[in-house]
């Protein structure tokens, strides 16, 4: 069974939701699980469909469908200063979870949803450093 790569970054702030979305998706590019066009596609998806990626209070699930090949990966950008996506009830966002799926995005969405239902967002907010946040993400993708 292949190990799903994970990445995390802790940032004091970003200019706006677009920069945060690009930065979260860029973590997947750095992992090699998404192509260089992925961050722009993630921003374009929100511009086209609105802030549907803001799933719950303070949490966005950054993703996009692209024609380019991707493989499974999960990343988080945690912000000290939250950003507004324009969601009527779940703004502002300080946890940007980004994923690439390699085709079966529902499996990754289920894993992330299961993690969120057991307090993943709060654990990521409390993580002392990027390494701890990466450990938390690894637990999500392995189901531990």
pLDDT of 117 = 95
CATH number (domain holding residue 103)? 3.40.930.10
Is 1 inside a domain boundary?
A: no
Specify the pTM: 0.94
Is 71 inside a domain boundary?
A: yes
Q: How many domains does the chain have?
A: 1
Q: Show the domain range for 82.
A: 6-142
The angle, 0 to 180 degrees and rounded to 10, between the axes of the packed helices 17-31 and 38-49 is: 140
Q: Which residues of 18-42 are buried (b: 16+ CB within 10 A; e: fewer)?
A: bbbbbbbbbbbbebebbbeebbebb
Half-sphere exposure of 58 (CA within 13 A, CB side): 14
| Owner of token pair 């912000």 | 79
As a whole number of angstroms, the distance between CA 50 and CA 87 comes to 8
142 token code pair:
């392995």
Q: What is the pLDDT of residues 59-72, one digit of tens each?
A: 999 998 876 667 88
Is 104 inside a domain boundary?
A: yes
pLDDT of 79 = 97
What are the residue ranges in the chain where pLDDT is below 70? 1-3, 67-69, 103-104
Query: Minimal CA–CA distance to 86: which of 17, 14, 4, 13?
Result: 17
Is 40 inside a domain boundary?
A: yes
């Amino acid at each position: 069974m292949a190990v799903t790569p994970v990445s995390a970054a802790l940032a004091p702030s970003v200019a706006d939701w677009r920069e945060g979305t690009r930065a979260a998706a860029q973590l997947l590019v750095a992992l090699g699980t998404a192509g260089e066009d992925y961050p722009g596609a993630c921003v374009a998806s929100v511009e086209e469909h609105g802030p549907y990626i803001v799933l719950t209070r303070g949490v966005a699930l950054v993703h996009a469908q692209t024609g380019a090949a991707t493989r499974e990966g999960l990343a988080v950008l945690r912000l000290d200063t939250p950003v507004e996506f324009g969601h009527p009830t779940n703004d502002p966002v300080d946890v940007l979870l980004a994923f690439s799926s390699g085709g079966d995005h529902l499996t990754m969405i289920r894993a992330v949803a299961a993690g969120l239902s057991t307090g993943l967002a709060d654990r990521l907010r409390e993580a002392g450093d990027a390494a701890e946040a990466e450990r938390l993400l690894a637990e999500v993708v392995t189901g531990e």
